[in-house]
Each structure stands twice: as C-alpha cells, then as structure tokens.
Structure 1
Amino acid sequence: MSMDSRDHKNEWSRFLKSFVHAWRGIWKTARSERNFQFHIIAACAVILCGFLTGLSTAEWAVVLMLIGGMLALELVNTAIEHVVDLVTDQYHPLAKAAKDAAAGAVCVFAVISCIIGLLIFLPKIC
C-alpha cells in the first residue's frame, strides 16, 4: 500500500470520526442542558404546526434554517459556558461577560426566530 493511499484512508477515518464526535456533543447536550431540551421541544412543535398549516417549500426552508440556527447557537453557548467553567470556578467579570454575551446571542436569535415564525404562521391561522 502506498503512503498516499494510507494518508487518504486516515483522512477519511478522521473525517468520519469528526461526525461521531459532533453527534456525541449534540446527544450529551440534549440530555443535560435544559435550554437545549426546550429548543428541541419548540422545534418539534413548530414542525408539527408546519405540517398542519401546509407550509410552502420556501417557508419550510426558512423554518428549518431558523431551527438549525437556534440549535447550533445553543450548542455554541453551551460550549462557551463549559470552557469558561473549565478555566475558572471563581467569579470573574470577564467570565460573566463571556457567558452573558453567548446567552445574549441565543436570546437575540430566539426573538428574531419568533418574529419570523409569527410572520409565517399568523397569516395561515388568522
């Protein structure tokens, strides 16, 4: 076996393992983080409403992007919280600022997602 084919095989294996690690992170977060669990339940409710109201393809694209963005942002927020907690267990203004900023990003996206959701769903139910 040539060196090139072994390198290619190792790269492919590392690539596949990265998905395993990613899914492990999603699963662990889903099992342990209350806010992520809330967002999953909300996403399921929105998807159910989407089927009940007959969303168009474009509307589904927007809704799914918002759901994916919300879940991804909540994962990033959780990662930031874990890293900050790993670095220090004592109160520090910068640690608080980092956690608050990450939580703020989630909040901004959640509010905008709700507004867009209302723009999509209200005309269908009113």
Structure 2
Amino acid sequence: MPSFIRKRITSFRYAFQGIATLFRETPNAAIHLVMAIFAILLGLFFPISATEWLAVIIVIGLVFALEAVNTSIETLSDFVTKERNESIKKVKDLAAAGVLMATIAALAVGILIFLPKIIELL
C-alpha cells in the first residue's frame, strides 16, 4: 500500500479517535448528541423537505465541530497552565461563545422547521 494512502488511513483513524474522545470526555457533546438524535427523529416523524434536512444536518455538524474545537482549545489551555490567566480565559470564553452561537442557530432552525408541524399536528 502506498505511503500516501497509509497516511490518509492513519489520519482518519486519529479523527475517529478524536470523535470518541469528544463524546467520552465532554458532557456537553453528549447533550448535543441527544438533541441531534431528537432532531433526526422529528425529521423522520414529520415529512421534511430535502432543504430542511440540509439545514438540520448542517447545524448539527456545526455544533459538533465547534464543540470539538472548543474542547481542544480548553484542553490545550489547561495543558499550558492551570493558573488563572486572563488571556487564556478570554480564549476559552470566545471558543465557548462559538458553540453557544451555533447551538442557538441550531435551535432556531429546529423551531422554524418543526414548530409549525407540531402545531399542525395538535
């Protein structure tokens, strides 16, 4: 097997290890996973369009991606120093804000797509 392909396989293995670490060690990622599964189940229960599925998939991916970046920043920051440092606090707060903004956007997408369908069902 050529070296290029071996390196790509190895890089995917590392990425999947990162996903496992994210869900094993980050409580918020587990909460996001439950909500993502709930959104997918709602999408299967209610007939949603391909465009609506795209929106749901994109915001789910965005939240998980930003949670992974946030967790990596927090892990690296904690490795650098355990002492209180205003610059590191600012970086960690900004990374957490990114996750929060993505989560709010995901919630808005969910409300826009599913609330009318839920109201119609009632």
| Length-normalised TM-score, structure 2 | 0.94
What is the match of residue 12 of structure 1? 5
What CA distance in whole angstroms lies between the structure 1 residues aligned with 2:44 and 2:58?
Answer: 16
CA RMSD of aligned residues (A): 1.0
* Equivalent residue letter for 1:78: T
Q: Identity over aligned residues, as a percent?
A: 36
Amino acid at match of 1:102: A
**Mapping of 1:30-41 within 5 angstroms?**
30-41=23-34
Q: Equivalents in 1 of 2:102, 2:60: separation in Å?
A: 10
Q: Which runs of 4+ in 1 moved over 2 A?
A: none
State the TM-score, normalized to the length of structure 1.
0.91
Amino acid at match of 1:39: H
Q: How many Å separate the matches in 2 of 1:12 and 1:67?
A: 29
What is the match of residue 70 of structure 1? 63
- Which 5+ residue runs of structure 1 have no aligned equivalent? 1-5
2:114 counterpart residue number:
121
- 2:19 is equivalent to residue 26 of structure 1: yes
Residues paired across the two proteins, number: 119
Q: Which of 17, 20, 36 is 1:43 aligned to?
A: 36
Larger Rg: 1
8 A Cα contact 2:59 2:105, kept in partner: no
Correspondence list, 1:78-117, <5 A:
78-117=71-110
RCO greater where, 1 or 2, for CA within 8 Å and sep 6 or more? Answer: 2
- Spell out, residue by residue over 1:17-56, the C-alpha distance to the aligned partner (whole angstroms, 9 max, x if none): 1100000010011011100000001100110011011111
Q: Which amino acid aligns with 2:32?
A: H
The C-alpha deviation readout for 1:63-96, integer Å capped at 9, x for no partner, is 0111011111100000000110111111100110
Q: Please name the residue that 2:49 is paired with.
A: 56
Cα distance in structure 1, aligned partners of 2:25 and 2:42: 26
Displacement of 1:113 in angstroms is 1.3
